Chain A
Amino acid sequence: MTTSLLAAPPATPLAAGEAPTLEAFGLDPWWLILAKAVLIFVFLMLMVLFEIWFERRFMARMQNRLGPNRVGPLGLLQPIADGLKLPLKEDLVPRGVDRPVFILAPALATMPAFLAFAIIPFGPTVSVFGHQTPLQLADLPVAVLFVLAMSSLGVYGIVLGGWASASPYSLLGGLRSSAQVISYEIGMGLSFVAVFLFAGSLSTSEIVASQERIWYAVVLFPSFVIYAITMVGEVNRIPFDLPEGEGELVGGFHTEYSSLKFGMFMLAEYVNMTTVSALAVTLFLGGWRAPWPISLVDGANAGWWPVLWFMIKLLLTISFFIWLRATLPRVRYDQLMKLGWKVLIPGALAWIMVVATIRVLRNEGISTQQVFFAVAIVLGIYIVASYLWDAVRGNRRDAEEQEATAAERAGAGDSTGGDPMAGGYPVPPLDAPHYHGRNSTSKEVNRA
């Protein structure tokens, strides 16, 4: 049976195993692997173009505006016009920057975002030119760990871009992003643990296969909530876009970038958004499996149909990102850190303990309902108590801190100027010599 890539779904379900397992990988001929890799690249680029258009139009509708509607039907060609305009602008490299790192940074930000998409399953085993192959480039026994590793590499682009620019705004942006991404990555990793416990595997294809009966977003709802918050923090989108925070940092880490280099940072942001959305779909929303009423139809999970379900879920997740951007203001930096370290991480740890306990007790043969009620009561008491504790104690603390800061300001006049702990939060020195290009110990700056 020969099916071209764009053909309609075959009328009869394929004979081959519907849900691929790890053994199904590594058997493709070289041209098929190449085609898959190129297709993923093209898919991501098209998604970026679509997302730019979709974001502007969708947000415009939410804000009772029209959005771009001049270039092409419904403004569809606007991203292409933008994409053509950007590289034609002058490529500025400011004086005093660390040139190799300055040029390397945009590429470092973009590459990991693309790589992580290799293990996202688009669909079950299909037939391409007579070959039975899973709709996924690669799978590893530790595939989700690979995604985490890639997303942790992506931060280098931002941190190094911010540092190499030799500008206080960029440096502050890079600094914020390094702390933010590390904090939120811990929460993200912990939110996956419950999924691993249920699926018994770290491979994406097997995690999708194990969601045949019910989505993990339902079973492991707290994990899903934690992931949904951390994924926004991980890709630096509103409300967690402090690294670029244009209200306070001009443009943050990309202040000094222009032309194609700036475009690559934007590309990285949108590809990252697609990647974390696809990961959310794969780990929590059933992957390519049809949603409930449709899944009852015979053949809904076979052939090429699952690509459609995957795309619908992916677009809904991306809409969630845009919805957030249109709705929420940017959080303050200390609020961001508080949320990450005091709410998300302890919450995720407690939830993992609960999940592990339930699994063990079920293995011992104790009824799930009893366990569930006991756990729910304990957890409810804990959450209410901790919230009250934090509300009472936190307010008193804040008031004390503010008094102390006010007293200090009144007493010492200019003391906040170079104070590394101004207001109780770490702030880099605002007059470090290299900002002004007069670092006497720096040869490169002197030469310039």
Chain B
Amino acid sequence: MTPADVVFLFLGAVTLGSAVLVVTTRQLVHAALWLVVTFGALAASYLLLTAEFVAWVQVLIYVGAVVVLLLFGIMLTRAPIGRSEGLDSANRPVAIAVAAATAALLVTVVVAGFREAYVELGDPPAGTSGQMGASIFRTWVLPFEVLSLLLLAALIGAIVLSRREIQPPGESSDERPTERPTGPGRG
């Protein structure tokens, strides 16, 4: 085992441990913070595999934007300090079963696919931005475009859902102010 392997295993343990804490902690904002640790450790694993570009994009997008948006959402609604009740659901056993099954599936696929293959990272490393760009826009261009279409559809869907002035025909928009949802802080 090389030192790199040891660090890699350690990062894997950190990722897994913080991921478990995300779903078990009783404090809503702390769950988001453990998610930051998970994403950070994942980015460090990418760095270890010499995929610099992917690693920093992971930090930029997931740590720097996705979780910040999550925090924004939490703060916009409740932002409770301390333990919150009701973070548990009755579906816990089912959720555990689904999570275990997914993990088993992924592990089986990886083990079946690679066995004991040991990938040499090579020189120049395979994770540089030039190589990444070439492989995304040459070899994998179709899945990439399909994904971007999916994201675009989600984006438009979100905009449509959040616009209140788009209504079924027949209803006038004069009633708009009275239709506002009751805020969580009212009462």
Contact = CB atoms under 8 A, between A and B. Distances in A.
Interface of A is mostly: helix
Interface stretch (B68-76, B93-101, B105-113, B115-123): B68-76
Kindly list the 4 A-B residue pairs having the minimum CB-CB distance in the complex, ordered from nearest.
A429-B185, A152-B64, A442-B82, A418-B186
A97 B81 CA distance: 7
A288 B158 CA distance: 46
A439 B82 contact: yes
A152 B63 contact: yes
B163 interface: no
Interface of B: 27, 29-30, 33, 36, 52-53, 56-57, 59-60, 63-65, 68-69, 71-72, 75-85, 128-129, 176-177, 180-181, 183-187
Given A142-B56, A428-B76, A429-B183, A443 B68 contact: no
Given A98-B29, A430-B185, A155 B81 contact: no
B129 A142 contact: yes
Interface string A407-448: 110011000011111000010111111100001011111000
A145 B57 contact: yes
A411 B59 CA distance: 48
B184 to A, nearest CB: 6
B82 A444 contact: yes
Interface string A131-171: 00000000011100110110011011001101110100001
A408 B177 contact: yes
A141 B128 contact: yes
A175 B76 contact: yes
Interface in A42-65: none
A83 to B, nearest CB: 30
Interface of A: 96-98, 101, 140-142, 145-146, 148-149, 152-153, 155-156, 159-160, 162-164, 166, 171, 174-175, 178-179, 181-182, 185, 189, 202, 404-405, 407-408, 411-412, 417-421, 426, 428-434, 439, 441-445
A221 B187 CA distance: 53
Contacts of B185: 418, 420, 428-432
A153 B75 contact: no
A105 to B, nearest CB: 11
